[in-house]
Amino acid sequence: MELFTELSLIIGIATGVAALMRLLRQPLIIGHILTGLIAGPLLLDLIGSTETLALMGEIGVAILLFTVGLHLSPDIIRTFGKVSFITGVGQVLFTSIVGYFIAAMLGFSPAEAFYISVALAFSSTIIIMKLIADKRELDVLYAKIAIGFLLVQDLIAVLLLLGIPLFSASSFSFAEVARFITTGAVLIGFVALTSRFFVSKANRFLAQSQEFLFLFAIAWGIGIAALFKGLGFSLESGAPAGVCPPRSRSRSSSSSAIR
């Protein structure tokens, strides 16, 4: 089956399922998940070009997270960062400890119990951000705290992934950890400086055309996400990093253009 035909069928199924979700007054994200189950190998098996569809999915995730990132500024992070950090770390520690003991009592090995406890501790950043965005409440107090909470979870997840090699013989390398941390710090500094000195200076030029502003915002968000992913970080950690400076006049315009 050709890719165009596959996409047409998937979009048709997604539209029908989304209409059903609207009638049932359920979030559309549930309909999207059901569409994947219906069109996937579990039922109809319509997807042949899995790599192409996976790439399109990654682009969609990067754009969604970049749009959410446009609503986060250093001022917001300074205001709610402490609350998000304390709740994020506290929740991960509590859930991981409880999950570890439950898994251990069920007979899993220490390594298996560790993996299970870590998996239980984290929420789905993509799904929660999508639900908040669909409700148009990204600027509400609870949404700002929740997004900060999720970003703290993502950071902890990255650090925990670095600790996984400790369970496998002598493959752990402190040099690799140091390289990872240094690369992350350099990337964050690069994005911050480029945003402040390049994007802010280009505000007047960008605002002259909505089409150009839209293209620039998409290129910037996906480009930063690709840079992070190419250097070994997750797509989720890269997309929100492409945030314009807090006083950028193109921030709200970029968000509106993408939506």
What's residue 102's pLDDT? Answer: 92
Whether residue 25 is contained in a domain is answered as: yes
Whether residue 30 is contained in a domain is answered as: yes
| CATH, residue 126 | 1.20.1530.20
Residue 193 has pLDDT above 70, yes or no: yes
pLDDT tens digits for range 161-175: 555 555 554 555 667
User: Rounded distance, CA 60 to CA 26, Å?
Assistant: 21
CB 89 within 8 A of CB 155: no
CB 154 within 8 A of CB 236: yes
Half-sphere exposure of 58 (CA within 13 A, CB side): 15
Structure tokens at 53: 């569809």
Which residue segment(s) compose the domain that 254 sits in? 67-258
**Do residues 133 and 36 share a domain?**
no
Please state the rounded mean pLDDT for residues 147-155: 75
Total domains, the chain = 2
User: Rounded distance, CA 91 to CA 96, Å?
Assistant: 8
What's residue 105's pLDDT? Answer: 92
pTM: 0.58
Q: 4 falls in which pLDDT band (50, 70, 90)?
A: confident
Percentage of the residues of the chain whose pLDDT score is greater than 70? 70
**Do residues 207 and 126 share a domain?**
yes
Structure tokens at 248: 């950028």
Q: 132 falls in which pLDDT band (50, 70, 90)?
A: confident
Any idea of the CA torsion for 156, 162, 166, 169, to the nearest 10 degrees?
A: 160
Whether residue 225 is contained in a domain is answered as: yes
**Do residues 113 and 28 share a domain?**
no
Query: 189: which residues sit within 8 A by CB, 6+ positions away?
Result: none
User: Rounded distance, CA 127 to CA 101, Å?
Assistant: 28
**Do residues 134 and 10 share a domain?**
no
**Do residues 130 and 241 share a domain?**
yes
Whether residue 57 is contained in a domain is answered as: no
What's residue 169's pLDDT? Answer: 46
Q: Higher-confidence residue: 26 or 241?
A: 26
Query: 123: which residues sit within 8 A by CB, 6+ positions away?
Result: 150, 153
- Mark out the alpha helices in 195-234 (DSSP H runs): 203-206, 210-230
CB 36 within 8 A of CB 54: no
**Do residues 162 and 234 share a domain?**
yes
- Per the listing, tokens 């650090």 go with 159
Neighbours of 246 (CB within 10 A): 16
User: Rounded distance, CA 29 to CA 14, Å?
Assistant: 10
**Do residues 116 and 36 share a domain?**
no
Whether residue 237 is contained in a domain is answered as: yes
**Do residues 27 and 123 share a domain?**
no
Residue 17 has pLDDT above 90, yes or no: yes
pLDDT tens digits for range 44-89: 877 776 777 777 777 777 777 776 666 665 566 666 667 878 888 8
pLDDT tens digits for range 210-256: 777 777 777 877 788 788 778 777 666 666 655 554 445 555 555 55
3-class secondary structure, 210 = helix
User: Rounded distance, CA 93 to CA 100, Å?
Assistant: 10
pLDDT tens digits for range 94-103: 988 998 899 8
**Do residues 105 and 43 share a domain?**
no
Q: 160 falls in which pLDDT band (50, 70, 90)?
A: low
Structure tokens at 89: 């770390």
Q: Report the mean per-residue pLDDT for the chain.
A: 74
DSSP 8-state code for residue 27: -
Q: Higher-confidence residue: 240 or 138?
A: 138
